Amino acid sequence: MDEVVRQAMARWPNVPHCFGWLRLDARGGWRMRDERAQQLDLPGDPIRHPALLAFIDRNYDCDETGRWYFQNGPQRVYVDLEWMPLIARTQPGLNDALQLVLHTGTALPALEAAWMDESGRLYLQAGGQFSGVDDRDLAQLLPCLQAGGRTDEAALMAWMEGDDSVSLQFIHDTQAVPLQRIAAATLASRFGFVSLPRAQQD
């Protein structure tokens, strides 16, 4: 968190929280939602200003109830989540190796777990944090889903169709974790986040 934000919080500790105005979309994009967007349940306008995006990313956090927010000076701006509170992406690393980073720009530490839901969406746990993988990056990560140490499309399809005799691993950068199944309807309870935080929850 920025030091200027900490100072503002100390100086004005009782500023009311803000709800409904900021949204994180399923690809890790920040969107501003004015009153019209909120009333019509629209996704909102993408935020494109680089300095503002960096400021939001640096001051993005979660409270003790699983509600994610952007600390804007003394005010908490709670975030509506289209999907997951953290979105993982790929980017080129050293020697063209594929690196995993969060939408905030933070590199993922050592992998701890991996899941796939019934729609083929991929989820990762690293450093105690849970993220959904940007759908645009999934194709690049399919070779990481391996059976018996090799990529096997037939095994992947059988696993996705519910064949429990097939075991898959997510292998990335010498790290290997078993691929587990998860139901999309259980994401918020399983990973402990609130998709639509609202004032009445205080």
Distance between CA atoms of 138 and 196, rounded to whole angstroms? Answer: 26
Strand segments, DSSP code E, in 35-97 are 45-46, 60-62, 68-72, 75-81, 87-92
Decide yes or no: CATH 3.40.50.300 for domain 3-82: no
Q: What angle do CA 85, 114, 94 make, to 5 degrees?
A: 85
pTM over 0.85: yes
State residue 169 phi and psi, 5-degree precision.
-125, 150
Residue boundaries of the structural domains of the chain:
3-82, 87-186
List residues bridging with 147 in a β-sheet. Answer: 150
* Tens digits of pLDDT across the chain (202 residues): 666 656 555 554 566 789 999 999 999 999 999 999 999 989 999 999 999 999 999 999 999 999 999 998 888 999 999 999 999 999 987 656 789 999 999 999 999 999 999 999 999 999 999 999 999 999 999 999 999 888 888 898 899 899 988 999 999 988 899 999 999 999 999 999 999 998 865 5
- CB count within 10 Å of CB 66 equals 15
